[in-house]
A and B are shown apart, each in its own frame.
Chain A
């Protein structure tokens, strides 16, 4: 099946939805492709047992009512070309979508840094644990520790507490005075201040350690406890789950394959101009993919990209001051919750770095020529296609060049059925 739209949008999170509505309003047809079953992105996930919130219902109704927007949920992009076109796969088969323009808003994933015991069942990303809980995974009465850095820890703990989990402790690596400095700046963004207050009140009574981190996950078959170090003092807290949050990494795979210019710091982001245009003609990018900045910034960038694609340049430019305002918020979060070096030094030589191929940090360090790491250890050659271990290695061993861009810009962008790969060629324009 091939379908054509004025504009293709990848991602139905805050940026993609904002872009879709802006374009539909301007009279353009939109194909909106998303990996999730529901619109809203990671941040818009609703709890399955919860009645859909008003905002969510409004979004869904608007999407369904808008006959200019065709929504393709549960789709993974397995290939793309700069025509532009996206080849997507779902349980039902594959689809080839084409558009005159393409807006990339695929969001971000969690950064995972290995530490002793991190591969034990029960250790998850905080966002992943939050998402599982919202999709109906039972956590009532279970003991949970959250550890890492930044506001996502609090948001995730809030979700799990509402679902009946026992939050033993939140372990924040940032020092208290640094958090105080951040909070003091919040009045510049009133909506965030209220959000923080709501979450914090909801978490009353939960120990909140600052200047602390989990050094080890303990357990035989699965997680039983974590070792926490706070300013040199070590303690052990028993728990069933550990949710870690150390930051987000933009999902740049599609942009990379399309040849869009990237920046590295150390994780790649897509370079855009003030109208969200990438280096490739007709291809725009919005939201976390251009740099981690949060939902408000993503929504603004989606709107700007929508206006830009629709040719409404003055409307797009009018949003520049608000964009700058929210970009500053993202920069403040990044600055005050920046990862501290001890978190990069927790993994030992026996710690597994690549869990797809069971490669330890020691095996990687033993490779004399760092350029040969991938070939000799098979790091990143498993089904996650290096999404987890490559980012971790960039943090743990910044000097190691493990993968060249050409190596990771090949199809399939996500594991795809051989069937799809064999069939999609029939849909390719003859060239």
Chain B
């Protein structure tokens, strides 16, 4: 059977591409080896966040797309905003710089002094000197966002093949585990397992832990992240932890975060959870008494240079990549899909695709 486009992977990136491509008129089939949103997508926090890094432009465009997504309530989109929190005075200059940098991309942010910070979030430890509020950030419930995007794709004529594993790229198509062959342009959007089909594009699973609490009255209304989170993001050698707390509708809190490379084991590590929670108590001491109801782990798809692969894969016939977004897959899914489909259709692009070009990994 012939298709215009075969998307491999039913996570947020694959779902966004299937939706964007089918709405652009491409006959699209999405193949997912298990069920939608059961990989990195379903394990994450669903924080739509603009980080001061190389993905800034892609994130800004993606947030615009999230804000204008039709029928957005189906994704449980909530405009919580993010507060970056300084632990000591030493963190404040970094936040000021971040604020200026965001402004050059027309992203609003407000520096908070000690008083502003505690007026907005009274549960924060009394000695914290200030923070930076980014009011445009938001949260979604990623499994529902994927279901929403797949629903749109289906209505635009896309086919979904669930429980089917692609075992090989055939040059001009794919072969499934049951031997069936499909032809068409292929997009690999399988997150942490991207390298299984495209070994020339290295992606390493980076493990994370999350805790969710019971419902209880809470004064926390913003996603709260420690300013040091960015340094943690760039640390690649060993497990790093950073306070990252998200209020859920109904009073639950999602509590993170941790990052560990070189680990395949899905098991919850009590010692990592412990270090992570100690970090959280430093900022939110009242959370000691909160009850946890679940802890789980997930794997972010990390690339050597911290940038995703978005674009055509050199040396292969009609194969494209869209994976390796590490912790920003949910945030940047819609922008990634727009960029990839624009490139595919040879349409003018809204942002510079060069940093994401998969060729960089092959030439290096």
In the bound complex, residues from chain A placing their C-beta under 8 Å from that of B293 are: 381-383, 385, 412, 415
CB of B270 within 8 Å of the partner chain: yes
Q: Interface 1/0s, chain B 196-223, versus A by CB < 8 A?
A: 0000000000000001111100000000
Smallest CB separation, B152 vs chain A (Å): 15
A369 contact from B35, B42, B214, B277, Cβ within 8 A = B35
B270 contact from A406, A417, A428, Cβ within 8 A = A428
Smallest CB separation, A407 vs chain B (Å): 8
Smallest CB separation, B10 vs chain A (Å): 10
Residue in A385, A407, A412, A424 with the greatest tally of chain B CB atoms within 10 Å? A412
Q: Interface 1/0s, chain B 258-288, versus A by CB < 8 A?
A: 0000000011101101110110110000011
Smallest CB separation, A376 vs chain B (Å): 6
Kindly state the interface size class of chain B when it binds its partner.
Answer: 35 or more
Report the nearest A residue to B41, measured CB to CB: A375
Cβ B288 vs Cβ A418 within 8 A: yes
Report the nearest B residue to A423, measured CB to CB: B274
In the bound complex, residues from chain B placing their C-beta under 8 Å from that of A79 are: 270
CB of A1 within 8 Å of the partner chain: no
A418 contact from B34, B42, B211, B268, Cβ within 8 A = B211
Cβ B211 vs Cβ A381 within 8 A: no
CA distance A422 to B35 in the complex (A): 33
In the bound complex, residues from chain A placing their C-beta under 8 Å from that of B308 are: none
CB of A340 within 8 Å of the partner chain: no
Cβ A381 vs Cβ B287 within 8 A: no
CA distance A415 to B215 in the complex (A): 11
In the bound complex, residues from chain A placing their C-beta under 8 Å from that of B37 are: 372, 375
In the bound complex, residues from chain B placing their C-beta under 8 Å from that of A152 are: none
Cβ A422 vs Cβ B214 within 8 A: no
Report the nearest A residue to B212, measured CB to CB: A381
In the bound complex, residues from chain A placing their C-beta under 8 Å from that of B143 are: 372, 375-376
Interface residues of A in 374-431 (CB under 8 A from B): 375-376, 381-383, 385, 406-407, 410-412, 415-419, 421-426, 428
Cβ A411 vs Cβ B288 within 8 A: no
Cβ B291 vs Cβ A425 within 8 A: no
CB of A371 within 8 Å of the partner chain: yes
Report the nearest A residue to B266, measured CB to CB: A406
Report the nearest B residue to A87, measured CB to CB: B270
Cβ B292 vs Cβ A415 within 8 A: yes
Cβ B295 vs Cβ A372 within 8 A: no
CB of B88 within 8 Å of the partner chain: no
Report the nearest A residue to B275, measured CB to CB: A425
CB of B38 within 8 Å of the partner chain: yes
Report the nearest B residue to A357, measured CB to CB: B250
CB of B255 within 8 Å of the partner chain: yes
Cβ B147 vs Cβ A418 within 8 A: no
A375 contact from B42, B162, B213, Cβ within 8 A = B42
Residue in A382, A418, A419 with the greatest tally of chain B CB atoms within 10 Å? A418
CB of B234 within 8 Å of the partner chain: no
In the bound complex, residues from chain A placing their C-beta under 8 Å from that of B35 are: 369, 371-372, 375
Smallest CB separation, A392 vs chain B (Å): 19
In the bound complex, residues from chain B placing their C-beta under 8 Å from that of A383 are: 214-215, 291, 293
CA distance A423 to B213 in the complex (A): 17
Interface residues of B in 280-322 (CB under 8 A from A): 280-281, 287-296
CA distance A282 to B274 in the complex (A): 28
In the bound complex, residues from chain A placing their C-beta under 8 Å from that of B144 are: 376
In the bound complex, residues from chain A placing their C-beta under 8 Å from that of B214 are: 383, 415
Smallest CB separation, A327 vs chain B (Å): 36
Cβ B273 vs Cβ A425 within 8 A: yes
In the bound complex, residues from chain A placing their C-beta under 8 Å from that of B42 are: 375
A369-B162, A410-B296, A422-B281 as given contacts; A417 in contact with B288, CB under 8 Å: yes
Report the nearest A residue to B269, measured CB to CB: A425
In the bound complex, residues from chain B placing their C-beta under 8 Å from that of A375 are: 35, 37-38, 42, 143
In the bound complex, residues from chain A placing their C-beta under 8 Å from that of B287 are: 418
- Given A375-B38, A411-B268, A412-B292, output 8 extra A-B contacts at Cβ < 8 Å: A369-B35, A371-B34, A372-B38, A382-B215, A418-B213, A418-B292, A426-B274, A428-B271
User: A-contacting residues of B (Cβ < 8 Å)?
Assistant: 34-38, 42, 143-144, 147, 162, 211-215, 255, 266-268, 270-271, 273-275, 277-278, 280-281, 287-296
18 A-B pairs within 8 Å (CB atoms) are namely A372-B35, A372-B147, A375-B143, A376-B147, A383-B215, A383-B291, A383-B293, A385-B294, A410-B296, A411-B270, A411-B295, A415-B293, A416-B292, A418-B289, A419-B288, A421-B274, A422-B273, A422-B288
